[in-house]
Amino acid sequence: MESQRKYPKIFSLEFFPPKSAEAERTLRRALAKLAPLKPRFCSVTFGAGGSTRDKTFETVLDIQQRVGIEAAPHISCIASTRAGIREVLHGYRERGIRRLVALRGDMPSGMLSAGEFRYASELVAFIRQETGDHFHVEVAAYPEMHPQAPSMEADLRNFKRKVEAGANSAITQYFFNPEAYFRFVDDCQRLGVDIPIVPGIMPITNYAQIARFSEQCGADIPRWMRKRLEAYGDDLESIRAFGLDVVTDLCRRLLEQGAPGLHFYTLNKADAVMKLWHRLGLDG
């Protein structure tokens, strides 16, 4: 963990592009509450295969130009062509975007062609080939292993490929076991990977939702947490209070032991992230 300490800490937020007028209003309300926290940047997700391409683009420009916070679009390359990605990259560059989150993405159901990229490392290499050092490139990291990887060691080597292709820093999948993160960072250092690896933080406000997400992305909910959350049943207030305590403790430990910042998955809601932010004293 030692070399992660030398970077200034970066606190950032993640949003998804709204799909309806109502969702757009929800996002605007969340942004209005969260912007005063002055996150270093806000990232905006991208539907695999380009399904949210225009909405991601619009949301990114809204955050950067209207809200006045650096915005970082996610770009996923699965089911995409080089020409399509080239157009997206140049569109962002022309509008003054300087940071991207480069991902493979997951094959959308119903799509038959995997496209011209197989892995995120190929996307990172393509970004560098097309746009040189214009963009700060973030990539994804998986302290508890990507669900499709054959082993942790193979996943670590594949993570290293993204760094060798030109990634500047990484954001992790969310996790609740800090040891998984510390071990991951140590293993990266052993392999000579020395970029900042920022933990992705998922607030807990709804047990059914967190259980579903965790099942999909392979994040482990420790048994003791699962048992507590199950016992609260429909008592949302207790779930939120417990979630806030647990996730605050997790963030504190990560920061105290050298994590180079935190990236919060907001799910386009402000309250849980604001509470965490205040409890952690990030607003100074």
Q: Which residue has the tokens 């099942």?
A: 215
Out of 99, 155, 202, 207, name the contact with ligand FAD by CB under 6 A.
Answer: 155
Out of 121, 248, 266, 268, name the contact with ligand FAD by CB under 6 A.
Answer: 121
Binding of ligand FAD by 275 (CB under 6 A):
no
Give the angle 86-123-100 at the CA atoms, nearest 5°.
75
Out of 61, 100, 140, 274, name the contact with ligand FAD by CB under 6 A.
Answer: 140
Binding of ligand FAD by 74 (CB under 6 A):
yes
> Quick count: other Cβ atoms within 10 Å of Cβ 245?
12
Residue 57: CA count within 13 A, CB half-sphere: 15
Binding of ligand FAD by 105 (CB under 6 A):
yes
Give the angle 53-46-64 at the CA atoms, nearest 5°.
80
Reduce the DSSP state of residue 262 to 3 states and report it: strand
Beta bridge partners of 14: 43, 265
* Among candidate residues 192, 182, 130, the one with its CA nearest the CA of residue 160: 192
64 versus 76: smaller Cβ distance to ligand FAD: 76
Binding of ligand FAD by 120 (CB under 6 A):
yes
70 versus 155: smaller Cβ distance to ligand FAD: 155
Which tokens go with 84? 């399509």
Out of 104, 125, 202, 282, name the contact with ligand FAD by CB under 6 A.
Answer: 104
User: Is the distance from CB of 244 to CB of 276 less than 8 angstroms?
Assistant: yes
172 versus 205: smaller Cβ distance to ligand FAD: 172
Binding of ligand FAD by 161 (CB under 6 A):
yes
Residues near ligand FAD (CB under 6 A) = 45-46, 48, 74, 76, 101, 103-106, 119-121, 140, 146, 148-149, 154-155, 158, 161-162, 171, 173, 200
